[in-house]
Structure 1
Amino acid sequence: MSTAALPITYGDVVHTPVHFDDLDAMGVLHNSRYAVLVERAIGKWWTARGVSFTGGRPTSPDAFNVVREYGITFHVPVTTIGDIAVHFWLAKLGTTSADYRFRVTTLDGSTVHADGRRVNVRLDPATMRPVPWTDHARDVARPLVKP
């Protein structure tokens, strides 16, 4: 994981690339691509800790989760390709939900391009109904929880 130059006291920061085809006709990062960048950053973080998919199957029961809510506020457009930083943390890890907050920033963290909230819910793959996070996921997620 990559850490921004500014001190981060909660959550984590993952550097994520912006590609040429992420930019819209005006040369700015298309609004829908922010969600993709956040998804990639959070996914990379969990994958590094053994919670992902391999061969179409979850490597952990906690990998089977979906986004329930997503909200974002845009501040300063991203106008270049290359890496940006995604700082994310958990405001709350509930019984079946994970309430993430995030900031998309320059690598040094000095400019906030956007910030927002994303709520994931863990599902039982057989019933597609919410089920509790495992103790393993709670242990892994502990460093993301904002004090």
Structure 2
Amino acid sequence: MSSRSDYRAHRIIPTRWLDNDAYGHVNNVVYYSWFDTAVNAWLIEAGLLDIHHGNPIGLVVETGCKYHRSVAFPESVEAHLRIVRLGNSSVRWEVGLFTAGHDGPAAEGHFVHVYVDRVTRRPSPLPDSWRQVLLPLVVAQGDATP
């Protein structure tokens, strides 16, 4: 398992009453929403993602999650980010979800964005300007704990 220090950026995401399911904890599908929120908010704040007019755009082609313990409303989640692979037209993001009072993550997930041309939907190399902004989030693959 990873620790907070294994990641390069983070954001706080409050849970909502509706996130809890019939079993009294946050439903698994919400974790994927947190991954998406953390990464896309970071991309927007970094000036890379313009959801209305930007080019290229990232399409998710792979996802996964390991659940280590439950999260429940009203906890807040600390979504920590890192990049473990910065390819020609793809990025493998990893997200650790932490909560107060716990050293280890409640869950660890990943997804892969393939960047494509907005119109043709064909893979598009990441612009050099994007690479420069993404590089501070990159960790060596050997540094990342699955």
Fold-level similarity (TM above 0.5)? yes
Could you tell me which of 83, 103, 107 is aligned with 1:90? 83
Q: Which residue of 2 aligns with 1:130?
A: 123
Root mean square deviation, CA, Å: 1.8
Q: CA deviation at 1:37?
A: 0.5
Distance 1:53 1:144 in 2: 20
Higher RCO (CA < 8 A, seq sep 6+): 2
Q: Please give the TM-score of this superposition, normalised by the length of structure 1.
A: 0.85
The answer on whether the counterparts of 1:10 and 1:143 sit within 8 Å (CA) in structure 2 is no
Distance 1:57 1:109, change over 3 A: farther
Distance 1:114 1:9 in 2: 14
Q: Which one is further off, 119-128 or 105-114?
A: 105-114
Could you tell me which of 103, 106, 110 is aligned with 1:110? 103
Q: Which residue of 2 aligns with 1:41?
A: 38
Distance 1:100 1:33 in 2: 17
The answer on whether the counterparts of 2:19 and 2:26 sit within 8 Å (CA) in structure 1 is yes
Question: Percent identical across equivalent pairs?
Answer: 26
Q: Which amino acid aligns with 1:84?
A: V
Distance 1:137 1:107 in 2: 33
Distance 2:82 2:20 in 1: 26
Q: Which amino acid aligns with 2:133?
A: V
Kindly tell me the number of residue pairs found equivalent between the two proteins.
138
Unaligned runs of 5+ in 2: 141-146
Q: Please give the TM-score of this superposition, normalised by the length of structure 2.
A: 0.85
Q: CA deviation at 1:7?
A: 6.1
The answer on whether the counterparts of 2:20 and 2:72 sit within 8 Å (CA) in structure 1 is yes
Distance 2:73 2:118 in 1: 39
Distance 2:114 2:127 in 1: 13
Q: Runs (4+) of structure 1 moved beyond 3 Å?
A: none
The answer on whether the counterparts of 1:18 and 1:80 sit within 8 Å (CA) in structure 2 is yes
